[in-house]
Chain A
Amino acid sequence: EDQVTQSPEALRLQEGESSSLNCSYTVSGLRGLFWYRQDPGKGPEFLFTLYSAGEEKEKERLKATLTKKESFLHITAPKPEDSATYLCAVPVIQGAQKLVFGQGTRLTINP
C-alpha cells in the first residue's frame, strides 16, 4: 500500500540551530513529491516540488532533497518565523490518482 510517513512529529530548535525533517514514502512510480508549509489557522502553502532522485530545491533557509525512498527538508540557521507545520505529499493511485499527505512535522524555533 502506498504510504507517506513524516518524522519527527514535532521538533523544537533554538534559533540558528540547523536540522532536517524527513518524509519517507512507499509508492510505485514516483510522480513527484511536494513540500508544503502550514501556519496555524491557515491553509497549506506550497514550497517545493521534486520529481527525481538527486534533485534539490532551495528557498531562503530551506533546502529539499530527494532520494528513491525519502525526502529531507533541511533548515539552516532557522529563525522563529520558520515555526510552522511542514507537510509532504506524494501522488498515489488509489482507485483514481490522488495526492496523499503525510501527518506533518510541527517545527518550533525558539528565539
Chain B
Amino acid sequence: DAGVIQSPRHEVTEMGQEVTLRCKPISGHDYLFWYRQTMMRGLELLIYFNNNVPIDDSGMPEDRFSAKMPNASFSTLKIQPSEPRDSAVYFCASSLELYTEAFFGQGTRLTVV
C-alpha cells in the first residue's frame, strides 16, 4: 500500500476562495482523521470518521469548515470561505482501530493570502 495520500501538497489561495483538500486512506482502515498543525497550537484533531460516518467534529473551528467521506477510499476537507488564519498544514491519517497506530499522510500546506 502506498500509505495515506493527500492532495494537493501545497495550496495558495486568496482570502474568500473555497479550498478543498483531499485524502485517500490506507485500504482496510476503518478510521480516518483530519488534523491541523500550526506553530502556535500544535497538532489539533478537527474531525474523525469511523466506517465513513463522522463521529466527532468538535474540533472543526467554524461552520466554514466541512468534511465528507463519501466512501471508504476518499475524504475531503473543505473551507469556504477561506481566511488567512486558516493557513496551516492539514494532515489526514488513518488507522485500523481508534486506539491503534495512525498512519499520516504528507500533509497539505495551505496558505491563504
Specify the chain A residue showing the minimal Cβ separation from B45.
Answer: A98
Size category of the A interface is 20 to 34
- Seen from chain A, the residues whose Cβ lies within 8 Å of a Cβ on chain B are 31-32, 34, 41-46, 49, 87, 91, 94-104
Residue of A nearest to B55 (CB): A96
Q: How far is the CA of A41 from the CA of B105 in the complex (A)?
A: 11
Determine, out of B14-22, B75-83, B92-100, the stretch whose residues face the partner at the interface: B92-100
Given A42-B107, A46-B103, does the pair A98, B93 have CB atoms closer than 8 Å?
Answer: no
Cβ-neighbour of A34 out of B45, B101, B105, B107 (below 8 A): B101
CB atoms of A43 and B58 under 8 A apart: no
Are the C-beta atoms of A44 and B104 separated by less than 8 Å?
yes
Contact present for B45 and A100 (CB under 8 Å): yes
The 8 A-B residue pairs whose C-beta atoms are closest, nearest first, are A43-B104, A96-B56, A46-B101, A101-B43, A103-B42, A44-B104, A95-B58, A98-B45
Q: Which residues of B lie under 8 Å from residue A96 when comparing CB positions?
A: 55-56, 58
* A103 shortest CB reach to chain B, Å: 5
